[in-house]
Amino acid sequence: MTEVRILASSQVTTIDFDGLDHLLRGLRRSDPFIQLAVLAGHHALQQSGIMASCQPEDVGVCVGSTTGPLKTNFDFLDTLFDDGEGQASPTLFSHSVHNAAAGYVSRLLNLQGMSQTVTTNGWPFLAALSDARWSVVSGMLPYCLVLGIEESCPVLDEAAGRLVGKNDRLPQMGAVAWLLSANEQPGLTLAEITIDEQYNDEVYLLSRDREVFSASVELPSYSSGSLASCLSLTTAMERIKSGIGQGNWQVKAPFGSARCEFGKAS
Domains and CATH numbers, the chain: 5-264 (3.40.47.10)
Residues 193-240 pLDDT 10s: 999 998 877 777 777 878 999 999 999 988 778 899 999 999 999 999
- Concatenating the DSSP letter of every residue in 95-159 gives HTSTTHHHHHHHHHTT--S-EEEEE-SS-HHHHHHHHHHHHHHTTS-SEEEEEEEE---HHHHHH
Name 245's Cβ contacts closer than 8 Å, sequence gap at least 6.
188, 264
Residue range 56-77: average pLDDT?
A: 93
What pLDDT, on a 0 to 100 scale, did the predictor assign at position 209? 77
Alpha-carbon gap, residue 56 to 73, rounded angstroms: 31
Three-state DSSP class for 5?
strand
Q: Is 27 buried (19+), middle (13-18) or exposed (0-12) by CB count in 10 A?
A: middle
Residue range 249-253: average pLDDT?
A: 96
More confident call, 78 vs 131: 131
Angle at 31 between CA 68 and CA 170, to 5 degrees: 65
What pLDDT, on a 0 to 100 scale, did the predictor assign at position 266? 67
Alpha-carbon gap, residue 31 to 175, rounded angstroms: 14
Residue range 110-120: average pLDDT?
A: 95
Say if residue 63's pLDDT is above 90. Answer: yes
pTM value is: 0.93
Q: How large a percentage of the chain has pLDDT more than 90?
A: 61
Closest CA to 236 of 146, 174, 176, 152: 176
Phi, psi dihedral angles at 141 (to 5 degrees): -140, 140
